[in-house]
Amino acid sequence: MFEIQNLKYKDILDINILELESGKVFCLFGESGSGKSTLLKIFNGMLTPDEGVVRYKKEKITQLDPVELRKEVVMLGQDPVVFEGTVRDNLLAGLRFSGENEVTDQEMSSLLKELHLEKELDEDATKLSGGEQQRLAFGRVLLMNANVYLMDEPTSALDEGTETVVMDYFTKNIKKQNKTVIMVTHSKEISEKYSDRIIYMDEILTKVGVHHE
């Protein structure tokens, strides 16, 4: 799915080689400042390497249309993006961006229930709490049915119980559809519980070194 060769970005990333196959949940694990979020943004085409090559499906990311890439490789950042408008508007925003058919109110309400977000579709999304906005953003990217999900601390604003519910639902659906997830977390527990493969940043930033769970 993704291939890295001799990647350098400022004084943050220096990776000789790394390959991430499709259909798995990967976790980037490391200390703050180790380049986890930077690497996600490179996979999404938001940042361009100073040196080296990054390929997605054998194609150089720098040669791909960034808008088309982001329809297939969807990113959910640490700070959830919430647009002005209703909960419904926010859930549909990703589908509208990617040009996909919109889903029904019933499907959206069902998704909110799975994410433990007991809100009406007509409610003002900007008035939701931080944790509620994070779950709303989670729902939006899930509806996009992307090939790859890049998740940067996707449950950081959730309590432990809600985090478990959301991650259980998310990973169950991802695996059922054979999608790929690359997730950043500071939580060893999250990484061990949900990932097929943990990538330790302190290993890949020196030479080749990936730990398999």
- Helix boundaries (H) for 35-118: 36-43, 66-72, 87-98, 105-114
Whose tokens are 């809100």? That residue is 119
Q: Taking 50 as the threshold, does the pLDDT of residue 207 lie above it?
A: no
- The total of structural domains in the chain comes to 1
- The residue among 183, 207, 193, 208 whose CA lies nearest residue 30 is 183
Contacts of 16 (CB under 8 A, 6+ apart): 5, 6, 207, 208
- The residue among 19, 25, 23 whose CA lies nearest residue 192 is 25
Q: Taking 50 as the threshold, does the pLDDT of residue 213 lie above it?
A: no
Evaluate whether 89 touches 120 at the Cβ level (below 8 Å). Answer: no
User: The domain that contains 174 carries what CATH number?
Assistant: 3.40.50.300
Q: Taking 50 as the threshold, does the pLDDT of residue 168 lie above it?
A: yes
Q: What is the mean pLDDT of residues 135-164?
A: 93
What would the pLDDT profile of 80-119 be if each residue is shown by its tens digit?
A: 889 999 999 999 999 999 999 999 999 999 999 999 999 9
Percent of the chain topping pLDDT 70: 96
Q: What is the mean pLDDT of residues 129-145?
A: 94
* Enclosing domain of residue 35: 2-212
